[in-house]
Structure 1
Amino acid sequence: MKGGAIDVCDAYIKDQIGEIKAKVEGENVDYIIIQAGGKGTRLEHLTRNKPKGIVPVNNLPIVFHMFKKYPDKKYIIIGDYKNEVLEKYLEAFGGTTCISVKAQGQGTSAGLHQALEHIPAGKRFMFVWSDLILGEEVNIDETRGNVIGISRDFECRWSYKDGQFFEEPSMQHGVAGLFIFSDKEILAQAPQSGEFVRWLQGQNIGFEEMSLLDTVETGTLEAIRRISGHEGEYRCRPFNSIEVHDNILIKRPIDDQGKALAVNEVKWYSEVKKYNFDQIPIIYELNPLTMEKINGQNIYKAKLDTEQKKKVIDNLISSLEKLHGFTKEEADPYSIMDTYFYKTFTRLDKIRNLVPFALEKTININGKDYKNPFFYREKIKEDVRNQCLYTCKSFSLIHGDCTFSNTMVDDKLNVIFLDPRGYFGSTELYGDVDYDWAKLYYSIDGDYDQFNNKNFELYIEENGVRLDIATNGWKELAPYYLSQLKGVDAQKIKFLHALIWLSLTTYAWEDYDSICGAFYKGVMLMDECLKDN
C-alpha cells in the first residue's frame, strides 16, 4: 500500500514536471518569413541603393539580427524594391538557410502566398516585419499555437485588445508585426496584396499574446540614429566592448572574433613595452585589457592649422621609425603575397557578383571611365611581386593599422597609437614597414576615417556611379607626408593604398554602400597605379 502511494506520487510529480517543461519548451518554430518588401522611404538616403532589410543597425544588417538570434531556422525573405541586391547580398553573406521570393503585389500581404509555398503543411512558422530587432528575452520557441507579438517599448499604428484588432495607435497594446501560426492553412484566404493586419481584423483567429520587451523598431531614420547612437567618444566594433571608469579604459572581447583580435593586440602591447615605446597608453592589465584613458582626440577630429598638421605628421613618422627600428627579422614571402594579393582578391571575388558594374571591363565613376582591377589580376599580381615581394627583405615591428582612427593627439601634438593589428599575413607582430606608411596615407590622402564613419555619398545610376567622400582635411598635406618618408618608394605607398581600399570591401561587409564605395575608391586609385607602370 505504502509503495503504491509512492508510485502514484512519483507519477504525479513526473506529470507536473513534464507539463512545466512543455510550457517552457513550447512548440518549435522551424520557419521564419521576413516581410522585407517596400521601398523604406522613411529611411531616406539609407535605402537609396539597397532594400531596407539590409540597412545596418549596430554593425549588422537589420535582418541579420534575426539570423543571429535564430541561426538554425529556415528563412523565407520577401522582397521587391532592389530585390536583386537583396538576393545577391544574402547569397554572399547570409550564412544561413534562406530562400528569397519577390512580391508581386503591394503592402504587407504581398509575397506571403509565394513564401508559404516553401513551408510544409502542419509546420509552425513566424511571419515578421523586417524592421523588428527582437529583445534578448523574446523566445518564440517557448510559445504554443497562434501568437501575436505586442509592443511594450514603441508605438504601433494598430492595437490588439481583448482578442480584437483596432486601428488606433498604442504603446502598450501595439501590433508590432510579429505573428506565429500553427499551420499555413490558416492563411489560405489571405489577400495577395494590401495590409495584412487589416485582413486579420476581419478574421476569427485566436491569438496568444507575447510581450516583445526590449524589442526595437527600425523603420525610420530617426529610430536607427537613436538605436545606433554612440554614447561618449568611444566607438566599438561589434566584437568588443569598452568601459570607461574615470581615467581608466577597459576593453573586452565579446565574441570569438573579438577574442582572437584581443590576443594579437595584447601580444603587441606586451612586446613594445619591452622596448619602452612610450607612444602608447599606460597598460595596467592585459586581461582584460585595462589602459590609461588618453586626454586627447583622434587625429582626424582634431582642429589643427597647416603647421600643426605638419608637426603631427613629423611626430607620426618619427614615432613609427622608432617602432620599426627596435628589432627586425627575415621577411616572410608568404605573408607578403597573402596580405597584398591573395587576401585582397579573395575578398574581391566574394563581392564581384554583388557590386554593380564589377563584371564590366571599365567602370564609370564620377563621369570618368576607370579600369576594373578584376581584368588586371595578373598585372596586379606581378606588381605585388616586383614592388613588394622582391624589395622587402626584412620585417620590423609594425602597428599594422595606424590610421587616424587608431591614433590620438594631445594638446602638445604628441601622438599615441591604439588598436594595433598585431599581425601581418601569417606573421605575428612583424611585417613590411611600408604597410604602416600606407595606412597613414590611407587617412591623409584617402579620407578613410570619414568613410569609416559613413560620411560619404554614393549614387548607383544606370550607367555608372557617383562617389563623394567627406574630407579629413589633410589631403593637401599628402605630398608633404610622402616627401618626409626617407628611403620609401612613394609609388609603392600609392599602390598599397589602392590595395587597402580594395581589401576593405568585405571587411566592411555589414554595409552594402560601404562595400561598393570601398571598391569604387580602390578602382580609381588602382587605375592610376596601372597607368604609372
Structure 2
Amino acid sequence: MEKSQIITRACNDWERDWTLGTLTKKNQTIRLRNEIRYYRSIPWQFEVLFPRMLDASVWDESDHWMKLEYYNYLDLGQYLLGRSDWHLDYSDWLSIMQHLRSILDRWANHDKMPGFSEDAWEVYVAETVIENNAFREQDIAPLLFEGDWILINDRPTQTFKAIWPEVEAYLEKEIILTYQEGMIHGDCNFSNILYGGNVLRFINPRGSFGTMFGVRGDPRYDVAKLYHSVDVGYEFFTNDIFAVTKAENPSESWKWDYGKQYNPNIWRDKTHALSAFIEVFFEGENPVSKKDITLIEGLICVSECPHHHENPDRQIAMYLAGLQLLNKAMQL
C-alpha cells in the first residue's frame, strides 16, 4: 500500500510498525492537531468506520503525533486510476456510492441542528477569497485575473472577479442561511476512503469547519468533496494525469484535459464512477441539489490551488476547472 493512503500532503514525518500493524504520523501543523481532535470526538457508533487511534499527543505545540491502526487497503482513488488488479464495473461503483450515501446520510442526521452561519461564511466565502488572492499573488498566471472574460477550452468563461458577486449572493441566500450542522469527514475525496472486501474505511479527516473543531460541519461539503473525485477528478490532478496549455495573450484560449495518460480503461472507470454518483446523489431518493454541490466543488477547486505550489501546471489546471465549475453552477 502506498503511503499516500494514510499520510496527507500536510504530514511530513511518519513511521510504520509492520509487527504491530500501526502507523504513527508526526508534524507541526494545525491540520494534524485538528485531526487528533476529530478522532477524539467521533461518536461511538461511527468509530468502526475509522482506524483506531491508539495514542496521540498535542501537548507540545511544536510537534504533534498520533498512532493509528494500519489498514492494508487500497483507496478508491487507486481503483479509479486503474492501479488495482481488481477492476470495478458499473455495478461495483453503484454499490460503493449507495454505501457512501448511506454513511453520509447517517452522519448528516446525527444530532442534526441549525448551524452557525458564521462558520459556513468562513468556509465558503472568506476562505475562497483568501485562497484566490493567494494564488493570484503567486503571479504564476496573471492573465487569468485580467478582465471579465477568458477562454477555457475555447469557451468564454467569466473570471473570478466577474462571477464572484453572483456566486457570493447565491452562497449567502441558498447555502449559508440553509446550513444544517451534522457530522462530516471534511476531506471526503477518494484518496481518503479505503476500500477492500466491500468494506469502506475513512482516513485523514479535516477536523475543522470554520471556527468549529471536531466532527461537526456542513454535510454538503462532504458530498462536494466526493463529487470532486468523480467529476473533474481530484486524483487525476494530484497524480499528474492532466495537460495544460497556457494562453500567451488575452485572445488565446487556456486549455486543460487529462493528457496522454488518460487511457480507455481509466476513462471507463471514471465514467462508471461518475454515472453511479449521479444516479445515487442527484437522481435517487432524496436527491441533493446539483447546483449547490457543483458550486461548492468549484469553491474547493479554487481554494486548493495555492497549496499545490510544487507544481504550477497543476495549480493552473485546478484553477481553470474551478472557474468552469463556478460558471456552470450559476447556469444550472
Match of 1:199 in 2: none
Contact in 2 for aligned 1:445/1:478 (Cα 8 Å): no
1:59-84 per-residue CA deviation (whole Å, 9 max, x = no partner) reads: xxxxxxxxxxxxxxxxxxxxxxxxxx
Matched, 1:248 2:4: no
Contact in 2 for aligned 1:317/1:485 (Cα 8 Å): no
Contact in 1 for aligned 2:11/2:32 (Cα 8 Å): no
Contact in 2 for aligned 1:508/1:515 (Cα 8 Å): yes
Contact in 1 for aligned 2:150/2:253 (Cα 8 Å): yes
Matched, 1:336 2:136: no
**Distance verdict in 2 for CA 1:400–1:330, change over 3 Å:** same
- Normalising by structure 1, we get a TM-score of 0.53
Which of 467, 486, 490 is 2:256 aligned to? Answer: 467
Separation in 1 of the partners of 2:254 and 2:126? 27
Matched, 1:492 2:292: yes
Letter in 2 for 1:309: W
Report 1:491-510 matches (<5 A). Answer: 491-510=291-310
Please report how far the alpha carbon of residue 381 of structure 1 lies from its aligned counterpart in structure 2 after TM superposition.
Answer: 0.9
Matched, 1:420 2:205: yes
Letter in 1 for 2:199: N
Match of 2:68 in 1: 291
Any idea what SS the aligned residue of 1:327 has? coil
Contact in 1 for aligned 2:302/2:318 (Cα 8 Å): yes
Separation in 1 of the partners of 2:10 and 2:205? 17
Letter in 1 for 2:188: C
Separation in 2 of the partners of 1:285 and 1:459? 47
Q: How many residues align?
A: 296
Contact in 2 for aligned 1:312/1:414 (Cα 8 Å): no
Which of 159, 162, 177 is 1:372 aligned to? Answer: 159
Any idea what SS the aligned residue of 1:357 has? helix
**Distance verdict in 2 for CA 1:433–1:318, change over 3 Å:** same
Please report how far the alpha carbon of residue 373 of structure 1 lies from its aligned counterpart in structure 2 after TM superposition.
Answer: 2.1
Letter in 1 for 2:230: I
Contact in 2 for aligned 1:250/1:291 (Cα 8 Å): yes
Contact in 1 for aligned 2:97/2:277 (Cα 8 Å): no
**Any gaps of 5 or more consecutive residues in structure 2?**
58-64, 80-86
Letter in 2 for 1:529: A
Letter in 1 for 2:95: K
**Distance verdict in 2 for CA 1:276–1:403, change over 3 Å:** closer
Please report how far the alpha carbon of residue 455 of structure 1 lies from its aligned counterpart in structure 2 after TM superposition.
Answer: 1.6
Please report how far the alpha carbon of residue 291 of structure 1 lies from its aligned counterpart in structure 2 after TM superposition.
Answer: 1.9
Letter in 1 for 2:149: T
Contact in 1 for aligned 2:188/2:226 (Cα 8 Å): yes
Separation in 1 of the partners of 2:41 and 2:163? 39
Match of 1:279 in 2: 49
Any idea what SS the aligned residue of 1:277 has? helix
**Distance verdict in 2 for CA 1:262–1:520, change over 3 Å:** same
Letter in 2 for 1:300: G
Separation in 2 of the partners of 1:484 and 1:409? 23
Contact in 1 for aligned 2:10/2:31 (Cα 8 Å): no
Which has the higher relative contact order, 1 or 2, with Cα contacts under 8 A spaced 6 or more apart? Answer: 2
Contact in 1 for aligned 2:246/2:255 (Cα 8 Å): yes
Please report how far the alpha carbon of residue 424 of structure 1 lies from its aligned counterpart in structure 2 after TM superposition.
Answer: 0.6
Which of 228, 248, 265 is 2:35 aligned to? Answer: 265
1:227-263 per-residue CA deviation (whole Å, 9 max, x = no partner) reads: xxxxx511242543232222523232233x2xx1122
